[in-house]
Amino acid sequence: MCCDKLKIFKIFHILLLSDEVIMNLKQYIRHLLYDNTTYESPDIYQRFRIVCPEYSQHDIEVKPYPLPESEHMFGLIWDIHEPHTVSATIIPSGTAFTYEKRFEPGMRTQMHSHEYLELFYIVDGEYRQKILGNEFTFHKGELCLIDRNCEHQEILDSGSSTILFLGITNAIFNDIMKHLSTSGRIASFLNMALLEQKNLQQYLHFRPQPEGMEKMEQALYQLLSELKQHDVASPLICQGLLLRIFRILGTNYEFSLSKQLRKQMNWILFEEITDYMENHLTQISITGLSEEFHFQEDYFNRLIKTQTGLTYTEYLQLLRLRRAETLLLTTDATIDQITEAVGYHNKGYFYKIFTERHQLTPAQFRKKM
């Protein structure tokens, strides 16, 4: 009977691991961390020093990229838990392992920089870092991108937390940015802004908008799974997933912009909103805009007012009347058809506002022009 139970448990365990989609990101990370039997890191990661306590307040340690140049990405997982312990692992790794390090609360790691870019995500809890002389507390769902040569250190507290660090070569990051720059006005701008801010500050702190965390965790889960798979197709798949992660950062996360960049961003967003309104004149609503662009409804009124001096309703009316003018001059459509085509169902109201704008009825406008 005991053997039967053991067999059932093993079968269940195999099914669980072969169908990882039933886990969430935190559960999958715990599987990667704690389903290992080896507690010694492989030779390739020995000089990487997963957790290095501070040994000098003056020296800056430079962490090398731990993999061959052909490997453009790796994942480092930290799970901080009682009793004051960091459990960690790195993927890909030829041998799955779990590294453990005890610490005293408040311990700082050695100030260091990387030969690569680091993007870390707070899976659970809170996490503190000192970056370029300033201390920051990062919360669940937030990310931080740290540039090469940016000096920083970890501060280990007594609370529990789980952090995923992605090490990214400069070559693959630049390739991702090239792809982003060809994917639309907003994405192109965010790509430029991200690069400019990164160069100025050497780090970027991202905070999630609604739905951002869920999308990010799905993408990170897939990326970790592919890093673990580590076969001939993995480099291309991982690059595609990293591109998706940066698209999510650009559309579902907030990061700080300079005043000038914020002004440019608002203008580009206004142009995108105008394009959307012009393409949906017959069924546009401020609720629809909110769903499409993921902003609160009052934001659109403020943005349109700033750019045009008009309210949302006034601006929509202007766009509809401009479209009606174009249709009157360039088509043989009847006025009834044009009224419907620009989103009005009350012909009398359309005549009224058109005449107020031009001091001419639609028919007179068509004839005179």
The DSSP line for 189-252 is HHHHHHHHHHHHHSEEEEEEPTTHHHHHHHHHHHHHHHHHH-STTHHHHHHHHHHHHHHHHHHH
CATH number of 258-369: 1.10.10.60
Residue 113 pairs in a beta bridge with 62
Two domains, one topology: 27-254 and 258-369: no
Cα distance between residue 111 and residue 59, in whole Å:
7
Q: Which two tokens stand for residue 43?
A: 């030779």
| pLDDT given for residue 187 in this prediction | 62
**H helix intervals, 150-184:** 170-180
Q: Is the C-alpha dihedral spanning 252, 257, 261, 262 positive or negative?
A: positive
Q: Are 63 and 48 in contact (CB under 8 A)?
A: yes
294, 353, 292: which is closest to 321 by C-alpha?
353
Q: Are 315 and 304 in contact (CB under 8 A)?
A: yes
Tell me the whole-structure pTM to 2 decimals: 0.68
Cα distance between residue 341 and residue 327, in whole Å:
9
Determine how many CB atoms are found less than 10 A away from the CB of residue 327: 19
Could you state, in chain order, the average pLDDT of each consecutive group of 10 residues for the chain (369 residues)? 40 42 86 83 73 92 87 94 93 89 94 94 97 93 91 93 96 82 60 65 85 94 95 92 89 73 79 92 89 78 92 96 95 94 94 95 90
Looking at domain 27-254, its CATH architecture is: Sandwich (2.60)
Helix/strand/coil for 326: helix
Half-sphere CA count of 299, side-chain side, radius 13 A: 13
Instruction: Kindly list the domain boundaries of the chain, sorted by start residue.
Output: 27-254, 258-369
In degrees rounded to 5, what are phi and psi of residue 356?
-60, -35
| pLDDT given for residue 272 in this prediction | 86
Cα distance between residue 155 and residue 127, in whole Å:
8
Cα distance between residue 315 and residue 318, in whole Å:
5
Helices (H) and strands (E) in the chain, counts: 13, 13
Which residues are within 8 A (CB) of 332 and not within 5 positions of it... i.e. 6 or more apart? none
